[in-house]
């Protein structure tokens, strides 16, 4: 059965949703107006909405049953809700109305695409079972998924699998990319407090200089990857901040080093933590200083389950031409809160290209100049609809696959 294009009316509605949401960004666990907006639109579709899950999260449920069906298979489609504490640049008519907060990671587009899929599925069906539309708060801080899980998300809304989609500047517009196994890295944070003995900058022989100790620690930490891990195991150790309690003419008594690590497996994560602790303690002791290391797990790795990935790739092939499907994309060392969901249930996370660098949609994520490329909204809606109809087929003829209208060519900007 050939895919059929979405209506112009729905395409316009999805863009309106995206622009409306873009104007009311809220940071993690503060997404009250965003939740109000989503609930209003979903209830207008006749969809059952449950709010207050994990704080400001919500779940909308669609059900379609066939006579004689035993049980009710269910899947979830996920979109993140929060914005970033950045001041938006640009004069677009739908720019943020909340000073100092903007949707710089495309979560407005993610929500609009899931809303669009919900609209199509509520109106047309074409599936058997239950679809839970999960709108997750506080993705940027890695808090929202855990909060929803702790609030009984998968006990109250059990699913066989969960699926998500993130926009990806730098990839060709409309390309859908994913892979079985590790797609995105886990993130851990560390803080190393080095304590020496401060004093006058002109009398270094009287002190234990924690800056010298910290400098050696920063350099030595790079060996945690280069000399302790198999080169085939990707990992990153980044020291991102150094602060002291000193002054221009005073050697400090304390230095704090902060940073993060990225890795894909529990074994690599454990090696990185162990080596950060050992290197810091050893170098500090060699100089007569002391240190204390705090190491925290912030984001789980995003690891796609193989069978769910097959479903996602099947839906992608129904949505875009074959040369726009990347079934084995390279892992990415950024982190995504969706990984916490995949720790609990099978599923697949995918990337939707929004435009190559220098073209429309190519502005990097987390930039004050970023704006979601509206030309790929229909692709995301179609992908989610085709995914539901692939994962939850009807007993008779399946629902008609949908496809987006191809976007108009975009030149450099």
User: Residues within the annotated binding site for Mn(2+)?
Assistant: 105, 107, 140, 166, 366
Strands, E, within 226-289: which ranges? 235-244, 250-251, 254-263
β-strand 347-355 against 161-169: which pairing, if any? Answer: parallel
Whether residue 347 contacts residue 305, with contact meaning beta carbons closer than 8 Å, is answered with: yes
Return the C-alpha torsion angle 333, 340, 42, 130, nearest 10: 120
CA distance 131 to 298: 29
Angstrom CA distances, 383 to 52, 113, 226, 307, stand at 28, 9, 40, 17
Which two three-digit tokens encode residue 155?
């006990």
Q: Which residues contact 20 (CB under 8 A, 6 or more apart)?
A: 37, 94
CA distance 362 to 341: 28
| DSSP states of 20-88 | HHHTS---TT--HHHHHHHHHHHHHTT-EEEEEETTTEEEEEEEE--TT--S--EEEEEEE---BS-PP
> Which residues belong to the annotated binding site?
105, 107, 140, 166, 366
Selection from 221, 246, 249, 254 nearest residue 235 by Cα: 221
Strands, E, within 137-253: which ranges? 161-169, 176-177, 181-184, 186-195, 199-200, 235-244, 250-251
| DSSP states of 197-227 | B-EETT-GGGSB-HHHHHHHHHHHHTHHHHT
Q: Is residue 228 exposed (0-12), middle (13-18) or buried (19+ Cβ within 10 Å)? A: middle
Half-sphere exposure of 288 (CA within 13 A, CB side): 9
Neighbours of 287 (CB within 10 A): 15
| DSSP states of 69-99 | --S--EEEEEEE---BS-PPPS--TT--SST
């Amino acid at each position: 059965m050939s895919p059929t294009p979405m209506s112009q009316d729905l395409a316009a509605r999805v863009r309106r949703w995206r622009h409306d949401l873009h104007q009311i960004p809220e940071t993690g666990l503060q997404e009250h107006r965003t939740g109000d907006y989503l609930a209003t639109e979903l209830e207008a579709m006749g969809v059952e909405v449950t709010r207050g899950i994990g704080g400001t999260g919500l779940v909308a449920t669609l059900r379609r049953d066939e006579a004689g069906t035993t049980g009710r298979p269910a899947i979830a489609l996920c979109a993140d809700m929060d914005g970033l504490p950045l001041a938006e640049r640009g004069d677009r008519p739908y720019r943020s109305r909340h000073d100092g907060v903007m949707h710089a990671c495309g979560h407005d587009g993610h929500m609009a695409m899931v809303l669009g899929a919900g609209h199509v599925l509520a109106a047309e069906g074409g599936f058997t079972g239950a679809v839970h539309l999960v709108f997750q708060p506080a993705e940027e801080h890695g808090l929202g998924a855990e909060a929803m899980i702790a609030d009984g998300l998968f006990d109250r809304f059990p699913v066989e699998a969960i699926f998500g989609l993130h926009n990806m500047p730098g990839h060709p517009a409309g390309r859908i990319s994913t892979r079985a196994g590790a797609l995105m890295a886990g993130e851990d944070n560390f803080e190393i407090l080095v304590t020496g003995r401060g004093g006058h900058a002109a009398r270094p022989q009287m002190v234990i200089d924690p800056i010298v100790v910290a400098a050696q620690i920063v350099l030595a930490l790079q060996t945690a990857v280069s000399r302790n891990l198999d080169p085939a195991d990707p990992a990153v150790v980044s020291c991102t901040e150094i602060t002291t309690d000193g002054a221009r003419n005073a050697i400090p008594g304390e230095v704090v080093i902060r940073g993060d690590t990225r890795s894909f497996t529990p074994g690599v994560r454990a090696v990185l933590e162990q080596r950060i602790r050992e290197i810091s303690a050893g170098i500090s002791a060699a100089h007569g200083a002391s240190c204390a290391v705090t190491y925290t797990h912030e984001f789980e790795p995003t690891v796609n389950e193989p069978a769910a990935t097959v479903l996602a790739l099947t839906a992608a092939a129904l949505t875009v031409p074959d040369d726009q499907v990347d079934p084995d994309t390279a892992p990415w060392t950024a982190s995504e809160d969706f990984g916490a969901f995949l720790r609990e249930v099978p599923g697949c996370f995918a990337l939707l290209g929004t435009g190559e660098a220098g073209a429309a949609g190519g502005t990097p994520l987390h930039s004050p100049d970023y704006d979601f490329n509206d030309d790929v909204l229909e692709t995301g809606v179609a992908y989610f609809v085709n995914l539901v109809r692939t994962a939850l087929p009807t007993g008779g003829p399946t629902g008609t696959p949908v496809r987006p209208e191809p976007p108009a060519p975009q030149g450099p900007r």
